[in-house]
């Protein structure tokens, strides 16, 4: 499994917002400069994050983005699932229609076990955990 840049950049964006949680909204251009990522690309990412209820936008001159929940309640899994559309490493785990051999596949349980391990690991890491590791180095 290879995560897209959208997932990786979304996670970096969310960690940036963690430092600003409950303070003033953060503008995308600030995060783009800090993370050396295109603001246009981040603007595409925030659409998904906002749609999932993970962030909120604030309009106006001092507008920008804020987390919609406490950083301890948002996991890496939450973010990656939004950006990737799920965490299963093979399509047949989502729906049997992707493979005619799905019901008698000898390797399906392997892919299921790997997918569950990835999911569990990402579920165990919150934005608060990540932010405490960086201890303000990003901002």
Q: Show pLDDT as tens, one digit a residue, over the chain (139 residues).
A: 688 999 999 999 999 999 876 678 999 999 999 999 999 999 999 999 999 999 999 998 888 999 999 999 999 999 999 999 888 877 677 665 566 666 678 887 888 899 899 999 999 999 999 998 876 454 4
Measured CA to CA, the distance from residue 47 to residue 23 in angstroms comes to 21
- The 3-state DSSP class for residue 54 equals coil
Task: Please state the domain count of the chain.
Answer: 1
Measured CA to CA, the distance from residue 31 to residue 37 in angstroms comes to 8
Tell me how far apart the 2 most distant CA atoms of the chain are, in Å.
59
Measured CA to CA, the distance from residue 30 to residue 15 in angstroms comes to 13
- Residue 105 inside a domain? The answer is no
Q: What's 62's domain CATH number?
A: 1.10.10.10
Q: Which candidate, 65, 80, 85, places its Cα nearest to that of 125?
A: 80
In which domain, by residue range, is 68 found?
A: 5-85+127-134
């Amino acid at each position: 499994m290879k995560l897209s840049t959208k997932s990786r950049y979304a996670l970096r964006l969310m960690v940036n917002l963690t430092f600003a949680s409950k303070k003033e909204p953060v503008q995308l251009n600030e995060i783009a400069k800090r993370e050396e990522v295109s603001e246009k690309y981040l603007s595409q990412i925030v659409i998904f994050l906002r749609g999932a209820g993970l962030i909120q936008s604030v309009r106006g001159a001092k507008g920008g983005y804020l987390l919609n929940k406490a950083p301890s309640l948002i996991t890496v899994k939450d973010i990656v699932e939004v950006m990737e559309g799920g965490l299963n490493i093979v399509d047949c785990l989502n729906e049997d229609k992707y493979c005619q051999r799905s019901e008698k596949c000898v390797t399906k349980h392997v892919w299921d076990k790997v997918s569950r391990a990835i999911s569990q690991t990402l579920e165990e890491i919150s934005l608060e955990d990540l932010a405490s590791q960086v201890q303000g180095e990003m901002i």
